[in-house]
């Protein structure tokens, strides 16, 4: 029988079923243990250190106790601490991105995904490089600077060379004042060699959702195709890091399996990355299964309600305070609004989940991956964020300055985010307001910028940011390297 070992490179040892089961039993036995819960909450709370806030995070066992806890007052405290951590590390900035679907050709048989091979009524489409260009222009015209590219797994239609060509095309498009400064990649698990090629192509984060950590369910939900190989999929992040990719993004598709199992697995995966590579995941995504062509989310028994979803998000925030958290347009405005307070640091806006969707006037459904709940325009999302006191950020400076992996974590841990990320966020917001915003959004935006500039602690930094924003407004300067 496999033994739990976070530092092992074998999936069955770092995502160890026995350890997860013991964790769930421990959490169940202690869910009313107020003394233990208070100790865990105290450990999770941000503390003021010499250089700024310090958070210790939680182990998967500790966080699982909080997730199991049903004592109302304690749940409120979990939410409160999640908000404190969010504000301590990330402040009120929210990074914005959009997915770009390149191809929905896929040879896998994933039961929850409409791109599965046996789906004969979905239209299959793969963008040509000219079409990639048109999509990127449409995205730049909205104001996007950061993309996550998405593709099905198909070695014939979407080989790595195709993905690399697309990345090159994306970075080459400079339409008016637009450019895409960071391309994150969400493609199927692949080889160290291919990860190396992605790294050389200048990608940001490599994102791969585990879907489920429960091996038996994984094998049943992925009955055919290369994705059926649980170990190959689960060990992908180690290969990505071996290939030189510093930033990796984890996630599970909530609804497929029991959420407490997934939660423990997800945190064990984060602990594994830290143990082996010295740096945890750059991001964690929390998607829930959605209705899609040929897919009924009710066919999966483990759907979670909004309250549980909020609790999961908050408990992840407490467990891995330095990891960015992403929520997509799978969720409604109301759910996104709530989760933003509990630790989310990145959201997508105005997403189209179809191949070629951004160049269509109406949202096309024929090649769509799943229903989008939040269908607002980017301008509406940006304005809504500001009305709720979040600063929309289009910044990609960390990645450009080489602050990835452990260097980003070091910045986070040094408490310098307000002196570094905050001014960059305001400058990129100013670019957005000048180039793409409606008059109403622009007005609210500059009121926010004025308020937020005053929150930058270091005077010199504050003055440079103010001067740069003046330049963006008055001289149309766009040569900053955000
Ligand atoms: N083919 C790649 C892979 O296997 O990882 C790329 C990812 S796919 C384009 C992006 C993600 O969408 C999947 O990892 C899955 O979690 C999610 N997804 C698939 N079907 C979904 C559905 N019906 N509702 C919500 N999310 C879904």
pLDDT at 196 over 70: yes
* Mean pLDDT value of segment 300-329: 95
- Ligand 1 in reach of 153 Cβ (< 6 A): yes
pLDDT at 235 over 70: yes
Band (pLDDT 50/70/90 cuts) for residue 147 is very high
The pLDDT of residue 379 is 98
- Ligand 1 in reach of 209 Cβ (< 6 A): yes
The pLDDT of residue 397 is 81
Which of 65-69, 89-93, 142-146 bottoms out in mean pLDDT, i.e. has the lowest? 89-93
Mutate to test the pocket of ligand 1, among 151, 240, 287 (most ligand atoms within 8 A of CB): 287
* Mean pLDDT value of segment 282-310: 92
pLDDT at 204 over 90: yes
The pLDDT of residue 412 is 64
Which of 8-17, 56-65, 408-417, 464-473 bottoms out in mean pLDDT, i.e. has the lowest? 408-417
Interatomic CA distance for residues 254 and 309, integer angstroms: 9
Interatomic CA distance for residues 38 and 44, integer angstroms: 10
- Ligand 1 in reach of 31 Cβ (< 6 A): no
The pLDDT of residue 404 is 65
Better pLDDT: 366 or 206: 206
| Residue 41 near residue 74 (C-beta atoms within 8 A) | yes
Better pLDDT: 333 or 54: 333
Backbone angles phi, psi at 283, to 5 degrees: -140, 160
pLDDT at 448 over 80: yes
Mutate to test the pocket of ligand 1, among 109, 153, 186 (most ligand atoms within 8 A of CB): 186
In percent, how much of the chain has pLDDT > 70? 95
Mind listing the pLDDT tens digit for each residue in 393-402? 999 887 666 6
Better pLDDT: 412 or 67: 67
| Residue 1 near residue 18 (C-beta atoms within 8 A) | yes
CA nearest to 404, candidates 144, 149, 199, 196: 199
* Mean pLDDT value of segment 119-142: 96
Backbone angles phi, psi at 444, to 5 degrees: -65, -35
Backbone angles phi, psi at 93, to 5 degrees: -80, 145
The two tokens of residue 266 are 């997800």
The pLDDT of residue 368 is 80
CA nearest to 256, candidates 307, 197, 297: 297
The pLDDT of residue 399 is 66
Better pLDDT: 51 or 444: 444
- Ligand 1 in reach of 392 Cβ (< 6 A): no
| Residue 150 near residue 102 (C-beta atoms within 8 A) | yes
Q: Residue 47's beta-bridge partner residues? A: 54
- Ligand 1 in reach of 12 Cβ (< 6 A): no
Mind listing the pLDDT tens digit for each residue in 23-43? 999 999 999 999 999 999 999
């Amino acid at each position: 029988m496999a033994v739990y070992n976070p530092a092992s490179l074998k999936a069955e040892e770092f995502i160890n079923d026995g350890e997860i089961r013991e964790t769930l039993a421990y959490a169940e036995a202690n869910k009313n243990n107020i003394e233990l819960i208070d100790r865990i909450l105290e450990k999770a709370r941000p503390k003021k250190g010499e250089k700024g806030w310090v958070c210790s995070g939680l182990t998967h066992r500790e966080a699982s106790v909080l997730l199991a806890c049903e004592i109302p007052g304690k749940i409120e405290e979990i939410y409160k601490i999640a908000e404190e951590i969010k504000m301590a590390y990330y402040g009120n900035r929210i990074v914005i991105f959009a997915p770009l679907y390149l191809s929905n050709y896929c040879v896998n048989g994933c039961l929850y995904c409409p791109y599965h091979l046996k789906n004969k009524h979905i239209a299959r489409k793969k963008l040509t490089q000219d079409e990639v260009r048109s999509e990127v222009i449409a995205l730049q015209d909205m104001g996007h600077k950061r993309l996550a590219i998405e593709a099905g797994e198909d070695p014939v239609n979407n080989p790595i060379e195709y993905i690399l060509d697309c990345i090159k095309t994306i970075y080459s498009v400079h339409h008016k004042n637009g450019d895409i400064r960071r391309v994150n990649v969400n493609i199927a698990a692949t080889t160290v060699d291919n990860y190396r090629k992605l790294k050389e192509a200048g990608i940001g984060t490599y994102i791969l959702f585990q879907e489920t950590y429960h091996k038996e369910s994984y094998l049943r939900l992925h009955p055919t195709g290369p994705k059926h190989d649980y170990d190959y999929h689960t060990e992908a992040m180690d290969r990505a890091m071996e290939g030189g990719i510093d930033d990796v993004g984890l996630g599970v598709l909530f609804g497929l399996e029991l959420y407490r199992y997934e939660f423990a697995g997800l945190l064990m995966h984060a602990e594994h990355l830290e143990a082996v590579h010295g740096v945890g995941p750059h991001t964690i995504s929390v998607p829930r299964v959605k209705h899609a062509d040929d897919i009924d989310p009710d066919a999966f028994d483990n759907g979670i309600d909004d309250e549980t979803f909020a609790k999961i998000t908050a408990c992840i925030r407490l467990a891995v305070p330095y990891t960015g958290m992403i929520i997509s347009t799978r969720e409604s405005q109301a759910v996104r609004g709530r989760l933003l307070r509990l630790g989310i640091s990145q959201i997508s806006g105005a997403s189209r989940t179809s191949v070629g969707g951004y160049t269509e006037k109406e949202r096309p459904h024929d090649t769509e991956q799943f229903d989008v709940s939040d269908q607002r325009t980017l301008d509406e999302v940006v304005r809504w964020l500001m009305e709720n006191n979040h600063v929309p950020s289009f910044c990609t400076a960390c990645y450009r300055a080489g602050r990835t992996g452990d260097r980003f974590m070091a910045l986070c841990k040094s408490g310098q985010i307000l002196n570094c990320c905050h001014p960059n966020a305001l400058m990129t917001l100013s670019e957005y307001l000048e180039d793409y915003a409606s008059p109403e959004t622009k007005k609210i935006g500059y009121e926010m910028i004025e308020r937020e500039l005053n929150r930058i602690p270091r005077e010199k930094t504050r003055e440079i940011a103010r001067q740069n924003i003046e330049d963006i407004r008055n001289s149309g300067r766009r040569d900053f390297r955000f």
